[in-house]
Amino acid sequence: MKFGLRYCNTGRYTNPARAVELVQAGEEAGFESAWTVEHTVVPGGYESAYPYSPDGKMAGGMDDFPLPDPLIWMAYVASATSRIRLATGILILPQHNPVITAKQVATLDHMSGGRVLLGIGVGWLAEEFAAIGASFDDRGPRTDEYVAAMRELWTSRAPTFHGDYVNFDSAYCQPQPAQGSVPIIVGGHSRAAARRAGRLGDGFFPARGASEELINLARTTAIKHGRDPEAIEITASLPEDLETIPQLASIGVTRLLVPVNAMAGLATGVSGPEDALAWSETIERYGEV
């Protein structure tokens, strides 16, 4: 079982010094990855239903909730670390220009020595899409096509792509990723997200819990599309009951993400880089699962 940290670009870790302290401490303690989250803007009075709470609203007052851009935050801490992987969990892909995003992600991967994991999602906040000027209603097919276009830019000698939303011929995009491509992890706990992970993902990250039904759906979808279902890496959040970790391993979860802020209800009771030893003990306890 691998252990990562989430969500690192929130709370006290929006402070530059503490961000570096956190990721350096996580690297020293043996954490495999550090995960970020994204909202470019959160329009006040939004009516879109937040899918992760019963009342359809995000917790906290978003008018006083700093949330640094994930790719820039990752680039900042990458220069202060050498081993820990850097991940988005998730980047709202259809809000981004895929060619520019491919360039940014490839550059970060190249400069960090191949440490980037790109977690993606389709988004849910229509008002945010409107503020950015991005199309909301077709965000699903856009996401699929953006993934294909980015992989073409990352892996082809003379990238060429023609789709409904993205078109380019011999669009040389250098540097390409240090790891050859960048793993794409599909986030979300809907059936659509599971199917997307099966169709095109290198991994699947159900945002809340680890539904065996959704994991199985991702795998059966992979089989239908001629893909190896075992090649889809399953990431999940650390459960409140640590004794259930072996059960998660039995259904194929291979990475667990530990929340870094006290407000996230951290099961282990740790709240910052000064508690790296406690984190390390958690890894030691469950590392052989």
What tens digit of pLDDT does each residue of 222-256 get?
999 999 999 999 999 999 899 999 999 999 999 99
Instruction: Give the pLDDT band of residue 261 (cuts 50, 70, 90).
Output: confident
For residues 253-277, average pLDDT: 60
Pairing relationship of beta strands 161-162 and 116-121 according to DSSP bridges: unpaired
What is the SS3 assignment for 237?
Answer: strand
For residues 71-100, average pLDDT: 98
What's the confidence (pLDDT) of residue 60?
Answer: 66
Paired tokens of 252: 């194929």
Q: Are 118 and 36 in contact (CB under 8 A)?
A: no
Residue ranges in 156-275 assigned as alpha helix (H): 191-200, 212-224, 245-250
Q: Where are the beta strands (DSSP E) in 8-154?
A: 33-36, 85-92, 116-121
Phi–psi pair at 211, nearest 5 degrees: -70, 120
DSSP assignment, residue 130?
H
Q: Are 157 and 87 in contact (CB under 8 A)?
A: no
pLDDT tens digits for 167-216? 999 999 999 999 999 999 999 999 999 999 999 999 999 977 899 999 99
Q: What is the mean pLDDT of the chain?
A: 91
- Which CATH class name applies to 2-286? alpha beta
Q: Where are the beta strands (DSSP E) in 122-208?
A: 161-162, 167-168, 184-187, 203-205
Instruction: Give the pLDDT band of residue 54 (cuts 50, 70, 90).
Output: confident
What's the confidence (pLDDT) of residue 62?
Answer: 64
Instruction: Give the pLDDT band of residue 125 (cuts 50, 70, 90).
Output: very high
Q: Does residue 32 surpass a pLDDT of 50?
A: yes
User: Dihedral sign, CA of 66, 132, 52, 224?
Assistant: negative
In this predicted structure, which of 59-68, 70-79, 140-149 has the lowest mean pLDDT?
A: 59-68
Paired tokens of 140: 């699903």
